[in-house]
Amino acid sequence: MLLPSKNYVPCTAPVTPLQSLPFDMPVKVLCDIPEVPQRETATVPADKSDGMPTSYHYAAHRGRVLNRMVQQADLKRLTDASSNSAAFWKVYWSMADLKPREPAVSLADLATCFEKRMNAPQPLPPSFDKERLRVVEECAENIPLPSKSSPYPSLNRKVTEEDIEWAKDHLRLHYNTAIGLDRVHYRENMEIENSVLCKLINECVDRNDAPTVWFTTLIAAFPRKTNLSQRRGAIALLGLRVAFSNSCVCSFTSASTSG
């Protein structure tokens, strides 16, 4: 066993500060592992007001904007009906109890059926007034946009609040009518003040513009029941119009007949 001498003085290793190390000092540890590249994460800018993505260029977010809009619309329907228990559960089951079914009439059959029923027969039979058809088609093609004022004053006057009230009285007879694309019932239009509806309709007429949904009709087609003596393949059609557009039609009818 070796023992230290009596004159042994322990000393610590010299400490060299990092700032004093030379910059050309060779690296003592080498590694052949390749450096992992940093993968950039694609971010979608969002609108601070509602958090909806504003970019449509990322495949991962394809369709997400539409899905969020549908979710927000469904949430609004539930919150609006939350004050009434019956209305709330009616809205809830309309969204939760969806049962997709096969259409009874295909679009191809519907187009084939109504193409013959809504257009002039081809070739035109001898009893058909060909000249009259030509005049009607030319007049339809030359209608200006917007159309000119009618020579009948009753067709040019503004809709009044009395017309709105007449329209509401007429629509009250059809409370059980199915809703249209906007999913708004007639009773909701009845709750709007006549002055507000009157101003809205007249402004739409003055601007020659209105929301597209007001002019969109849902088509429900189903095969008509026939017997052996009737033509097979007959199709019945049911149009579900928006409640507000029906209100406008009734208001215009009142304005034109009472003027």
Domain for residue 35, yes or no?
A: no
In terms of average pLDDT, the best of 12-26, 221-235, 239-253 is 239-253
Q: What is the pLDDT of residues 193-208, one digit of tens each?
A: 989 988 988 888 888 8
Place of tokens 């009285």: 169
pLDDT surpasses 70 at 18? no
Tally the domains of the chain.
1
Question: pTM to 2 decimals?
Answer: 0.49
d(Cα 56, Cα 42) in Å, to the nearest integer?
Answer: 12
The fraction of the chain above a pLDDT of 70, given in percent, is 68
What is the structure's pLDDT at 216?
Answer: 84
In terms of average pLDDT, the best of 140-144, 196-200, 238-242 is 196-200
Domain for residue 141, yes or no?
A: yes
The fraction of the chain above a pLDDT of 90, given in percent, is 2
Domain for residue 89, yes or no?
A: no
Domain for residue 176, yes or no?
A: yes
What is the structure's pLDDT at 53?
Answer: 47
Domain for residue 245, yes or no?
A: yes
d(Cα 199, Cα 210) in Å, to the nearest integer?
Answer: 13
CB 61 within 8 A of CB 55: yes
Domain for residue 228, yes or no?
A: yes
Q: What is the pLDDT of residues 159-195, one digit of tens each?
A: 888 888 888 888 888 777 777 877 777 778 888 898 9
Q: What is the pLDDT of residues 40-99, one digit of tens each?
A: 555 545 444 444 444 444 555 566 777 788 888 888 988 998 888 888 888 888 777 666
Domain for residue 23, yes or no?
A: no
d(Cα 178, Cα 186) in Å, to the nearest integer?
Answer: 9
pLDDT surpasses 70 at 213? yes
Q: DSSP for 128-155?
A: S-HHHHHHHHHHHHT--SSPPPPSSGGG
Tell me the residue range of the domain where 162 lies. 107-118+133-146+155-258
Domain for residue 17, yes or no?
A: no
